[in-house]
Amino acid sequence: MLGSRCFGYLRMADKKFESLKRLSNLTTVLENPKIGEVTEVKGWVKNLRVQKELIFADVSDGSCGKKLQVVIPKHLTSDALSYGSSVRIVGLLSKSPRGQIELLADTVNVLGSCIVSEGYPFQPRKTHPPEYVRQYLHLRSRTNYISSILRVRNALTMHIYDFFRSRNYLNVHTPILTSNDCEGAGEVFKVQPDSDETVKAMMQEGKDRDSVYFGSNTFLTVSGQLHLEAVCRGMGNVYTLGPTFRAENSRSRLHLSEFYMLEAELAFCDRLEQLQEVIEDLFKYVFVKTRDTNEGDMWIIDKENEVPSWSDKKFITITYEEAINILMKKGLNVSDEGINKEQELAIVDHCGKVPVFVVRWPKELKSFYMKECQHDNTKVDALDLLTPVTGEVVGGSLREDDYQNLKVKIPSERLNWYLELRKYGNIPTGGFGLGLERLMQVMCNISNIKDTLPFPRWPHNCDM
C-alpha cells in the first residue's frame, strides 16, 4: 500500500507553505480539491484504522459533515494520536487508488490529546442515543448528529434573513426585558438584580425588591409582537428573530424554557390571505434553500430523510369549524380549551400530511389583540399553521386596529402605549410568530426539541 503512494515530498515545500496566509477549511478542500498541492488541515480525529505500515485517520474540522481521509506513515504517529484528539496535518492532497480524496501526511502535530479512559463520554464508531449525548452539552457539538444540526440551524437562520431582506423587511431587535406580563402567552420569568448591594443602593420608598431596579416589575419577553407593532406603525414591514421565554413546568419533546421565535408584522395588511401567502412562501423558501446548502447534514440527521410530499404542494386552508368536524368524524372530541397536540397531528394526517392553515377561530380561544371577523364577531381572523412532526408551528392574526374596540378588550393599563398606537396615524397590520426550533424539527424530523439548539434550557436543566 505504501508503495502506491508518494510520501516525503515535503521537506522543501513545507517552508514555502508556511508563508501562505489563509488556511483552507475542510469544506473548501473537499469541494474544490487541488490534487497534487501541499495542503494544511486542522481538525479532530473522528476515526482511526491501523494497518501494517499506515494509519488511516478520518479528520473533521466541523465545517461540514464530511471527513477527510488522512494517510499517515507509522513513523509519524505517536500514542497521542487517538480518537478525539486535535491535529494539524500537512501533506500532499491526493487521490486514493479507489479515487477518494485523501491527504498523504508529511507532518503530523497532535495539538490536544484525548484520553477516552479519562472520562471522554463518546466512543469511536458508536452512535450514542440523544438522551445520553444531552448530558454533555459542552462536548456534544463534537458528535456528528449535533454538529450537523448546528450547521442546519446556522443555514436556516441565514436563509430566513435572506428571505426578509429580499422583501425589504426591517430587522428590529425587540427587547428581552419588558414590563408586559399580560399577553396571554403563558407563564413568565421575573428578573431582578442579583446583588443585594445594588438593590439596597437603589431602594426607594414604596418599592419592593422586584421593582426596585427598573421601577416596575420586569419580565423576560414571551413575544416581540407588541413592540414590532409599534415600529411597524412608523416604518412598515418588520421582523425579529430572537429568544423568548416560558416559565412552564413542561418537559415535553416540544417545549423549552428558552427558545427562538421568528416574528413578522405586515403593514397595511387587512386580509388573512396576505399573511398566509408570506408564511407559505417563507416555509418553502427556507426549506428548499436549506436542502440546497446542507443536504449532507440533513442525511446525517435523519437517515430516512425524504423530500416531504408537501414541498411543491399548495398548503391547505380550513376553518376552525371544519377542523372540529374532521376530528368529530374521527371520534375525537374537542374540549373547550381548543385543539390539542394529538388532534393537531390528526388533522394534518387527514389532509394528506400537507401543512394546514386553520383559520377563523372562536374569539375566546385567542388573544385580546386579534381582529374580529367581519359579519361574525364571535370569531377572530387568526390562523394556526399545523404541520407533520410537531403540529402547530406558526400562529398569527390580523390585529384589532380600531381604537375603541381595542380599548374595551385591553387587559391592563400597562398596555396603554399599545392602545395609543391606534390613535395616531394608525394602519391595519397583521403578523405571525414561528417557532424556530419546531421548524427545525419539521424540516429534519428531529423528535426532541432539545436537540435543535446548542444549549437547551428546560425545568431542572440550566447547568452551564
Which residues from 28-47 bind a copy of itself, rule CB under 8 A? 42-45
* Interface with a copy of itself, residue 168, by CB under 8 A: yes
Q: How far is the CB of 328 from a copy of itself (least distance, A)?
A: 34
Residue 59 or residue 386: which is nearer to a copy of itself going by CB? 59
Q: Scanning the structure block, which residue is given the C-alpha cell 437562520?
A: 157
Residue 204 or residue 333: which is nearer to a copy of itself going by CB? 204
* Interface with a copy of itself, residue 463, by CB under 8 A: yes
Residue 388 or residue 430: which is nearer to a copy of itself going by CB? 430
**Under rule CB under 8 A, how many of the chain's residues touch a copy of itself?**
111
Q: How far is the CB of 400 from a copy of itself (least distance, A)?
A: 13
Burial label for 379, CB within 10 Å (0-12, 13-18, 19+), is buried
Q: Give dist(CA 338, CA 15) in Å, integer.
A: 70
Of 380-419, binders to a copy of itself (CB under 8 A) are 414, 417-418
Grid cell listed for 299: 442525511
* Interface with a copy of itself, residue 132, by CB under 8 A: no
Residue 197 or residue 304: which is nearer to a copy of itself going by CB? 197
Go through 100-115 and write b for each residue having 16 or more CB atoms within 10 A of its CB, e for each that does not. eebbbbbebebeeebe
Q: Which of 16, 72, 14 is nearest to 48 (CA)?
A: 72
Residue 190 or residue 253: which is nearer to a copy of itself going by CB? 190
Residue 132 or residue 321: which is nearer to a copy of itself going by CB? 132
The window from 49-57, 131-139, 356-364, 443-451 that contacts a copy of itself (CB under 8 A) reads 131-139
* Interface with a copy of itself, residue 326, by CB under 8 A: no
Q: Give dist(CA 214, CA 175) in Å, integer.
A: 14
Q: How far is the CB of 295 from a copy of itself (least distance, A)?
A: 17
* Binds a copy of itself by CB under 8 A, chosen from 31, 118, 205, 312: 118
Grid cell listed for 243: 429568544
Tallying the residues shown for the chain, one arrives at 464
* Binds a copy of itself by CB under 8 A, chosen from 247, 254, 288, 316: 247
Residue 4 or residue 204: which is nearer to a copy of itself going by CB? 204
Q: Give dist(CA 216, CA 55) in Å, integer.
A: 65
Q: How far is the CB of 232 from a copy of itself (least distance, A)?
A: 9
Interior angle at CA 106, CA 100 and CA 112, nearest 5: 95
Q: Give dist(CA 162, CA 160) in Å, integer.
A: 5
Q: Give dist(CA 464, CA 141) in Å, integer.
A: 15
* Interface with a copy of itself, residue 275, by CB under 8 A: no
* Interface with a copy of itself, residue 27, by CB under 8 A: yes
* Interface with a copy of itself, residue 236, by CB under 8 A: yes
Of 216-235, binders to a copy of itself (CB under 8 A) are 216-220, 226-227, 230-231, 233-235
Q: How far is the CB of 310 from a copy of itself (least distance, A)?
A: 23
Q: Give dist(CA 412, CA 181) in Å, integer.
A: 9
Of 186-215, binders to a copy of itself (CB under 8 A) are 187-195, 198, 201-202, 213-215
The window from 49-57, 95-103, 302-310, 425-433 that contacts a copy of itself (CB under 8 A) reads 425-433
Q: Which of 395, 384, 462 is nearest to 431 (CA)?
A: 395
* Interface with a copy of itself, residue 369, by CB under 8 A: no
* Interface with a copy of itself, residue 374, by CB under 8 A: no
Q: Give dist(CA 374, CA 363) in Å, integer.
A: 13
Residue 418 or residue 432: which is nearer to a copy of itself going by CB? 418
The CB density around residue 239, as the number of other CB atoms within 10 Å, is 27
Q: Which of 18, 432, 437 is nearest to 228 (CA)?
A: 432
* Binds a copy of itself by CB under 8 A, chosen from 1, 111, 307, 328: 111
Q: Give dist(CA 442, CA 278) in Å, integer.
A: 18
Q: Give dist(CA 134, CA 30) in Å, integer.
A: 30
* Interface with a copy of itself, residue 460, by CB under 8 A: yes
* Binds a copy of itself by CB under 8 A, chosen from 177, 203, 307, 328: 177
The CB density around residue 252, as the number of other CB atoms within 10 Å, is 11
Burial label for 400, CB within 10 Å (0-12, 13-18, 19+), is buried
* Binds a copy of itself by CB under 8 A, chosen from 23, 35, 50, 328: 23
* Interface with a copy of itself, residue 311, by CB under 8 A: no
Grid cell listed for 420: 395609543
Interior angle at CA 142, CA 136 and CA 145, nearest 5: 90
Residue 139 or residue 365: which is nearer to a copy of itself going by CB? 139
DSSP 24: P
* Interface with a copy of itself, residue 147, by CB under 8 A: yes
- String of contacts with a copy of itself for each residue 49-88, x by CB under 8 A: ------------xxx--------------------xxx-x
Grid cell listed for 222: 414571551
* Binds a copy of itself by CB under 8 A, chosen from 16, 49, 95, 173: 173
Tell me the backbone φ, ψ of residue 81, rounded to 5 degrees: -75, 100
